[in-house]
Every structure is written in C-alpha cells, then in structure tokens.
Amino acid sequence: MNTAKVLYLGDLRTQATHLRSGEWITTDAPIDNQGKGEYFSPTDLVASALGSCMLSVMGIAARTHSIDMDGTYADILKVMADQPRRIAEIHVSIFFPDKAYTSKQKSILEHAARTCPVGRSLSEQLKEILTFHWPENESL
C-alpha cells in the first residue's frame, strides 16, 4: 500500500494525504521562493520530520527503559543554501522538562536521537546540529 497521495492545488501549494489514516496537510512554497509562506513548506516538513523522528525514537527508548520524558520538545531551525537550492543545515534543540535524569538515562536518550531513521536518511552534506537542554537537577 502506498504511504501518501500528494495533489498539486495550484498557486505553489500541495495537499498530502496519509492514506492509512486519511489525515492531510497542506504545503506552500516559502516567501523567499515565490510562495505565500502560509503553510509548512516541503523543506520545513523535512526539518520538522527530523525533530519528530528524534523525539519518537527517544520515546521508544524511554518506554523501553522506563524514563519519563513526557513534555520534552524540540525547536527546529532550517537553514537554506543556494546553487543548488537545498537545506544546508538543520538545528535541533531538544528541551527536557524539569525532571531528574541520571547520566545513563541521558546517554540512552541522546543516543536514540542521534540514530533516528530520518537523520540517517539525509545527505551527509546536510549539517545536523543537535543540542540537548537538560534540567539542572540530576538524580544519581
């Protein structure tokens, strides 16, 4: 079964439908590339997919090792390059809630983030800058 169907709506917009669930998203070309920037651009989705994948894989590791990471979030910054136009850098800053994490738990979650399938699928020319923001308290 196919994963998605993407329909061109005109005016540099598309609608992608997830075939299994029926959920959909609209994309728009960014302002700096002739679009209106009113929705995620396709490159925004790639950058966001990296952060979502990291959090999802971390969630699997957290579930496996009984680590509470609910409330963790990622801020994403995408940096574009020209000639050819492409994503040059994706900065992912992961912020953890004010909970106590051991050094071992931190290591498990950081390793999971660094090994997510989206990150492993992106070009080695694309710079991934990953920063973890842990709360100040640490359990033993």
H or E stretch at 77: strand 73-81
Domain 41-140 class?
alpha beta
Q: What is the pLDDT of residue 138?
A: 55
Secondary structure (3-state) at 111: helix
Q: What is the pLDDT of residues 121-134, one digit of tens each?
A: 999 999 999 999 99
The yes-or-no verdict on residue 137 having pLDDT over 70 is no
CA distances from 45 to 7, 40, 66, 87, 124 (A): 16, 6, 30, 11, 18
Q: What is the pLDDT of residues 64-120, one digit of tens each?
A: 999 999 999 999 999 999 999 999 999 999 999 999 999 999 999 999 999 999 999
Separation CA 94–CA 29 (nearest Å): 27
Domain definitions of the chain by residue range = 1-40, 41-140
Q: What is the pLDDT of residue 85?
A: 94
Element counts in the chain: helices (H) and strands (E)? 3, 6
116 CB contacts (<8 Å, ≥6 apart)? 50, 53, 54, 56, 57
User: Phi first, then psi: what are they for 16, rounded to 5°?
Assistant: -105, 125
Q: What is the pLDDT of residues 9-27, one digit of tens each?
A: 999 999 999 999 999 999 9
Separation CA 138–CA 102 (nearest Å): 6
Bridge partners of residue 18, in order along the sequence: 4
Q: What is the pLDDT of residues 35-52, one digit of tens each?
A: 999 999 999 999 999 999
